[in-house]
Chain A
């Protein structure tokens, strides 16, 4: 049953992708403009390193590595899981009922209600930055390290998906937009581009332990780059990322169930 639901999910996503790409000119314009918008931040990074030689002991290439991973991960989530942003509006317009009539998970249906291909602009930019970083670093690559990079992307994607879901969940209770969550999604992805130890203590706490953004990228990156953690935490911290994100996702899954339960109890 679940396998069929996932197959249908992919099918719907495919249809939406093709639909958006059908408008060729519009598609390319959006991707390019998204690319350009993200250039500003990358340029800011380079500008910073023009001024300073290093950031808390991190070179430009090393920070760029973090940037690349973060941009890639976030843009994938922003492309695929963006349908969740439409949930508040669907509820307001009374269009959420039809979701409950169908033999398919309400969450999956919400996810595929939209795709946003323009974030491929950010994705390509992230890829470029990542390649720049890797080609300027002398990383001793191993199968394990490649695996860790893949893990970062997958776990990061899961985390951002969960965060997008939070906003949708909250919209079942409040009428107004829950813009505060954006501080964690967009804010979190921005912060994840910088080595954690340069952040203030409270920020580190927030983004390491509360919303495990830091665990997803910082510690695995330390491992890949072969750096020591100035905060003194052991190397196996990098495996806490997947664990924490898994727990977080389970929590959010429960939250979604509660939201649906409330909707079916109060009708709106």
Chain B
């Protein structure tokens, strides 16, 4: 039995590009120019279905069309063509009705009132969403405990740190028990501890309350911790829609490790070269090695490299989303 919460069907969104006329008379020319504007296709035929209780990562490089898709699914933007159904509602046709079914956290902008204390914002939202007093109390206490809000509940939002504000936004988004949560870069700018806490919170939310979550992020670690399924988009199109493991196995396998030896290592280190390992760079005591992590783990590689010299320090580079997608391009379209 399917319980589809979010369904996008052949969504297309094109924007007219305002033509820019350079030079002193540019502004005037712009006024009389009657040639049709060029169109930029931000979202090009995107379709996917998300079931209740799924936590899906929606990733892609900057300008891929992530925000535009989310805006269409939250009712902010009207698509150029295509359909969508969220909680049984067409987002752009019933904006206010949909608003009661969704919670939204924009990483870059707050949903809270800037000059009010956090608790006042939450109280206002209670009235706006018509949350019964008792339910509000429960949700508030729950959020206070899990997100540690008590320290800054009475502080004006404009005085909150980024991490505190994000926690406040999360609490606000969930006050009215929406079955669907959209998160746009929720961990951006947060320190490691705050990120871990937020991931734990989202994990529990998805697990215990079956909240359907669509998460947009640049942070691959977010995805790895939270999502079993990811949708990769680039240039407005779906590049991949499936399990994270499969993707990682196929494209995210290549890693780089930089090893600093005490002294320049033995030339024999070049014998590390094989199908899964390659020495990319050698500058004095520093060696950069690319390896397939499905074939060999970092510690194993380090142990092998250690045979050619005494290792002083090392660092591992995480594969960036852009890197994964670039590798996707180099392979066939999935």
A interface with B by C-beta (< 8 Å): 1, 4, 7-8, 11-12, 15, 19, 94-95, 97-98, 100-104, 261, 264-267
> In angstroms, how far is the closest chain A Cβ from the Cβ of B179?
15
Whether A8 pairs with B109 at a CB distance below 8 angstroms is: no
Whether A94 pairs with B109 at a CB distance below 8 angstroms is: yes
Determine which of B16, B104, B124, B130 lies in contact with A4 in the assembled complex, contact meaning CB atoms within 8 Å.
B130
**A106 closest partner in B (C-beta):** B95
Q: CA separation between A32 and B239, bound complex, in Å?
A: 63
Query: What is the 8 Å Cβ interface bit string for chain B, positions 37-70, against chain A (1 contact, 0 not)?
Result: 0000000000000000000000000000000100
What residues of chain A lie closer than 8 Å to B225, measured between beta carbons?
Answer: none
Whether B106 pairs with A97 at a CB distance below 8 angstroms is: yes
Whether B75 pairs with A100 at a CB distance below 8 angstroms is: yes
What residues of chain B lie closer than 8 Å to A100, measured between beta carbons?
Answer: 74-76, 95
> In angstroms, how far is the closest chain B Cβ from the Cβ of A262?
10
**What are 17 A-B pairs with beta-carbon distances under 8 A?**
A8-B128, A11-B127, A19-B115, A94-B109, A95-B109, A97-B71, A98-B110, A100-B74, A101-B111, A102-B99, A102-B128, A103-B96, A103-B128, A103-B129, A267-B68, A267-B76, A267-B77
What residues of chain A lie closer than 8 Å to B111, measured between beta carbons?
Answer: 98, 101
B120 sits at the interface (CB 8 A) = yes
> In angstroms, how far is the closest chain A Cβ from the Cβ of B102?
8
- A266-B76 contact in complex given A8-B127, A98-B109, C-beta closer than 8 Å: no
What residues of chain B lie closer than 8 Å to A266, measured between beta carbons?
Answer: 15-16
What residues of chain B lie closer than 8 Å to A104, measured between beta carbons?
Answer: 96, 128
> In angstroms, how far is the closest chain B Cβ from the Cβ of A227?
48
> In angstroms, how far is the closest chain A Cβ from the Cβ of B85?
18
Whether B99 pairs with A101 at a CB distance below 8 angstroms is: yes
Instruction: Name, among A12, A15, A98, A101, the residue most crowded by chain B CB atoms within 10 Å (CB to CB).
Output: A101
> In angstroms, how far is the closest chain B Cβ from the Cβ of A112?
10
What residues of chain B lie closer than 8 Å to A102, measured between beta carbons?
Answer: 99, 128
For the residues of A in contact with B, the DSSP-based class is helix
Q: CA separation between A94 and B71, bound complex, in Å?
A: 13
Count B-side interface residues using an 8 Å CB cutoff.
29
Whether A15 pairs with B109 at a CB distance below 8 angstroms is: no
What residues of chain B lie closer than 8 Å to A98, measured between beta carbons?
Answer: 106, 109-111
> In angstroms, how far is the closest chain B Cβ from the Cβ of A94?
7
B78 sits at the interface (CB 8 A) = yes
> In angstroms, how far is the closest chain B Cβ from the Cβ of A137?
44
Determine which of B74, B116, B120 lies in contact with A101 in the assembled complex, contact meaning CB atoms within 8 Å.
B74
B251 sits at the interface (CB 8 A) = no
B263 sits at the interface (CB 8 A) = no
Q: CA separation between A236 and B33, bound complex, in Å?
A: 51
B100 sits at the interface (CB 8 A) = yes
B291 sits at the interface (CB 8 A) = no
Q: CA separation between A1 and B99, bound complex, in Å?
A: 13
Q: For window 86-122 of chain B, which residues contact chain A by CB distance below 8 Å?
A: 92, 95-97, 99-100, 102, 104, 106, 109-111, 115-116, 120
Whether B74 pairs with A264 at a CB distance below 8 angstroms is: no
Whether B92 pairs with A264 at a CB distance below 8 angstroms is: yes
13 more CB-based (< 8 A) A-B contacts, given A11-B127, A97-B109, A101-B104: A11-B124, A97-B71, A97-B76, A98-B106, A98-B110, A98-B111, A100-B75, A100-B76, A103-B96, A104-B128, A261-B78, A264-B92, A266-B15
What residues of chain B lie closer than 8 Å to A4, measured between beta carbons?
Answer: 127, 130
Determine which of A7, A19, A267 lies in contact with B127 in the assembled complex, contact meaning CB atoms within 8 Å.
A7
Whether B120 pairs with A15 at a CB distance below 8 angstroms is: yes
What residues of chain A lie closer than 8 Å to B16, measured between beta carbons?
Answer: 266
Q: CA separation between A265 and B15, bound complex, in Å?
A: 8
Whether B99 pairs with A103 at a CB distance below 8 angstroms is: yes
Whether A12 pairs with B124 at a CB distance below 8 angstroms is: yes
Q: CA separation between A267 and B68, bound complex, in Å?
A: 9
- A19-B116 contact in complex given A100-B95, A102-B99, A264-B92, C-beta closer than 8 Å: yes
> In angstroms, how far is the closest chain A Cβ from the Cβ of B171?
16
Q: For window 239-298 of chain B, which residues contact chain A by CB distance below 8 Å?
A: none
